[in-house]
């Protein structure tokens, strides 16, 4: 792990301290938490229900490729009362899905990072989260192999939750009206400039937590193109899978099946 020097602590007689350079979840921003109602099935009745986050954008640094969990899993309190009402009033099996995966720093208890997914849609989502993690593993290995580069390799990741309801006919008494039809994942390899540039030790990612897309001709292009691509069968849960020929930019839709 890279280190940076920070001012001495009081009483340490000038000794320096060290702290990790932030190369994990470099930056994350969330949209708003949606609500719908009034729901006649809540106790007390006719309450507005939080239905989860609308969007998430993150810059993922190379240390997230070490396989360690930074965030938290879901639990019985996640996205309640919606999840409980879905379990009780829908024939589908539902999961509180992370927008930002728990291993990458995403919370399993904050509504802004959650959205209801069918079990099949959640499994489809995991296929592409696995691809993203393999990309970060490469970024991690590049950082270990070439520690003196003036930038880190990372991934910019965006999840946008559709505003189209899952229900065929929206109604407050139909719990499928509180779920959205699909979400779109967009992710790409990026460079994260180090600060200060051209001088070690690097203190942090360059403010204000910026990143630059990796382009054709990059010195690590061959390694990037060797990252194992997602392997999936045709499915109603996966649509519009796209990637650039150089395998640097990716997009896919994850759908809750009819």
HEC sequence for 42-72? CCCCCEEEEEEECEEEEEECHHHHHCCCCCC
**CA 210 – CA 253 distance, rounded (Å):** 26
Residue 135, helix vs strand vs coil: helix
| pLDDT band for position 252 (cuts 50, 70, 90) | very high
Range 47-58 average pLDDT: 97
Domain ranges for the chain? 26-255
Q: In this model, does residue 2 exceed pLDDT 80?
A: no
Q: How confident is the model at residue 199, as a pLDDT?
A: 77
Helix, strand, coil percent values for the chain (each to nearest 5): 20, 35, 45
- Model confidence, pTM: 0.90
Q: How confident is the model at residue 253, as a pLDDT?
A: 98
Q: How confident is the model at residue 197, as a pLDDT?
A: 83
**Is CATH 2.60.40 what the domain over 26-255 is classified as, yes or no?**
no
**CA 214 – CA 188 distance, rounded (Å):** 8
Q: What angle do CA 104, 223, 69 make, to 5 degrees?
A: 15
- What number of other Cβ atoms are within 10 A of residue 223's Cβ? 15
What DSSP character marks residue 104? G
- What number of other Cβ atoms are within 10 A of residue 124's Cβ? 25
Q: In this model, does residue 78 exceed pLDDT 90?
A: yes
| pLDDT band for position 21 (cuts 50, 70, 90) | low
Q: In this model, does residue 9 exceed pLDDT 80?
A: no
| pLDDT band for position 18 (cuts 50, 70, 90) | very low
Q: How confident is the model at residue 258, as a pLDDT?
A: 85
pLDDT per position as a tens digit, 111-145: 999 999 999 999 999 999 999 999 999 999 999 99
Q: How confident is the model at residue 1, as a pLDDT?
A: 37
């Amino acid at each position: 792990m890279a280190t940076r020097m920070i001012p001495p602590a009081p009483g340490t007689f000038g000794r320096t301290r060290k702290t990790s350079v932030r190369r994990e979840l470099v930056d994350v921003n969330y949209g708003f938490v949606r609500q719908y109602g009034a729901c006649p099935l809540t106790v007390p009745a006719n309450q507005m229900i939080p239905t989860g986050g609308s969007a998430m954008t993150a810059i993922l640094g190379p240390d997230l490729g070490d396989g360690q969990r930074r965030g938290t899993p879901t639990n019985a309190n996640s996205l309640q009362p919606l999840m409980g009402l879905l379990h009780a009033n829908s024939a589908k099996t539902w999961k509180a899905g992370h927008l930002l995966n728990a291993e990458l720093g995403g919370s399993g208890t904050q509504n802004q990072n959650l959205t209801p997914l069918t079990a099949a849609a959640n499994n489809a989502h995991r296929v592409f989260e696995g691809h993203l993690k393999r990309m970060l593993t490469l970024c991690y290995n590049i950082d270990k192999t070439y520690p003196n580069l003036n930038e880190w390799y990372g991934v910019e990741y965006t999840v946008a939750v559709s505003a189209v309801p899952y229900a065929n006919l929206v109604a407050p008494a139909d719990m499928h009206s509180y779920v959205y039809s699909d979400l779109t994942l967009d992710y790409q390899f990026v460079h994260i400039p180090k600060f200060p540039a051209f001088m070690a030790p690097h203190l942090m990612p360059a403010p204000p937590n910026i990143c630059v897309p990796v382009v054709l001709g990059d010195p690590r292009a061959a390694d990037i193109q060797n990252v194992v691509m997602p392997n999936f069968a045709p499915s109603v849960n996966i649509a519009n899978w796209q990637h650039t020929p150089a395998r640097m930019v990716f997009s896919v839709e994850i759908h809750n099946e009819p």
